[in-house]
Structure 1
Amino acid sequence: MATDTGDIVKQGYVRICSRKLGIWQRRWIVLRRTSSKGTCRLEKYLDEKTASHGGVFKMTVLNAVTNVCRVTTSIRKHAFSICFQDSATKCLSCDSADLEADTWVKLLDQECILSQTGLVTGEPDILSPGIQKELQEQFHVYLMPTPKLDVFGECLLQVTHENIYLWDATNPRIKLVTWPLTALRRYGSDPTKFTFEAGRHCCTGEGLFGFYTLEGEKIYCKVHQATLAIARAHYKVKKQTDKSTSNKEPPPIKNAAVSHTTLAMVNSCEGLSSLPINNQTESSVDKNVAAARVPLAEAEETRNGRKSLWRRI
């Protein structure tokens, strides 16, 4: 099975100096730019055939690179170095002329250093005052691998009044995925993790998504407050609609494009039902609609002193 080539900047044979033995080993390396597949990185394969078949490789993440430069010929001809923030240095050399080494230096500098400052992409600054206010609180999380997404690892999680956003940790301009709060089925936290179940109306489809984080409780509270506000707003609209049409024949519904999950929130706005974290996941939204209801005041008391951290919307 061939590897994905959409994010490859450059690839080819180079010689890499072993830190422990000082031996220059010939390896096939692939430079990948930051994308939805992951952060900027170097992948090292035994040879080109191994790379083309998606074989075993070693990866070096390039999000902490401070400098990329050529080294003197006294060390080795056609060589260059990659310097990291922890003072580590990786030395590489090309078998051909200096032009090949210069190309590697130029591309590495462009992808690892210049792109972090936004000087290469030419994209508008999404951190303008209005958007910056919306993005001012983000949580560092580690997304656990899931078949629903091609990405995993360190990310930034953001909770707004309508959505949960996942941003790339090394380049905050890259939005990885969006989950509408109205499409979540349940969510919960413990001291080391925040987890939620997405419904079928999410772009990822149905599934559980887990994030390792030390701020799981804080994320939980933001999600709970936002979903409760959405439920109250829908309930208020529903009450006003019912009051105005109580003595009249209901008019035909012209727009029925309301998600099942949103209807469930409206119908159960008097309270959010709890689900123990060890219960089985229900596979149907209709089962969520039929969930037991509790008074709103009781639901808020449960949130303040809850024993179960799962909440169903």
Structure 2
Amino acid sequence: MATDIGDIVKQGYVRIRSCKLGIWQRRWIVLRRASSKGPRRLEKYLDEKTASCGGSHKVAVLSTVTLVSRLTSSIRKHAFSICFQDAETKCLASDCELEADTWVKLLAQECLLPQTSLITGEPDILSPGIQKELQEQFHVYLMPTPKLDVFGECLLQVTHENIYLWDTTNPRIKLVTWPLTALRRYGSDSTKFTFEAGRHCFTGEGMFVFYTLEGERIYCKVHQATLAIARAHYKVKKQTEKSQAIDKELAHKKMPICQTTVDTVNSCEGLSSLTERCETECPVNEEVSEPAKSNPHEDLSLRYSLATTSKCSLRSHLLSCNMHRQGQ
């Protein structure tokens, strides 16, 4: 559970070698991990009293550290160094061997070892395409709210669909999820990020305030993600409307074709009835069945009618009727 446990990893007196003069000065230093108050850093105070009252101090950001190692005794006993990407090196020395080893171990854990990332979190969100998003986390301080039992230092993650809140002490624990589509409004300033959740969220309706120095960056990511969702919904809606319009147009084009087909069928039925009447009025087969035929032209017309009957019954019947009437 995320609670306000502070961001101090270790603090104490050490001797720091001056870069200009090369002398070793006794100072009180504080190693702080990344949090809503700032990145991981090393703060140098004149003494412990100045640190306790929040006096003036110097800050060395540890985001570009490349090496933390012990130094040989020829340089100074119980000494160690911190190397940065810009070739800068800070040399420090403790009062005993155990303290020096502890400082080196903690500095290496905070600056060199892979930071506990959401990539090692729950597999349900490890779908292709969002690993890059999972690598970006924001240290925030969640203000107490009656909607949640957790508060304090947390890790906030913004994906293309949700806002996730993870525990800082155990980043495998997902505290809560807010769908971006359920957010009513959101905003930020130089010290915090705020949003109002709707009733469709797991937490229900309510305002959630996160104190952080990266409020503007969080706002930009949330804004870009919500705009992408809106564009996707608009695109789907336009495609649906277009397909519906095409279906309606096709339906209108098919109606005349169907009507023409019906008319054709009706005309064929009329011709069939006409054929039946012709067969009734002109019994061709009965005339053909007579054994004697005196006129050779009648035999020719009879053979023609019989030949055409096997090809087109409707045409042959009409032709036979005409020839029979002409003979009479």
TM value normalised by structure 2: 0.48
Q: When the two structures are superposed, what TM-score results if normalisation uses the length of structure 1?
A: 0.50
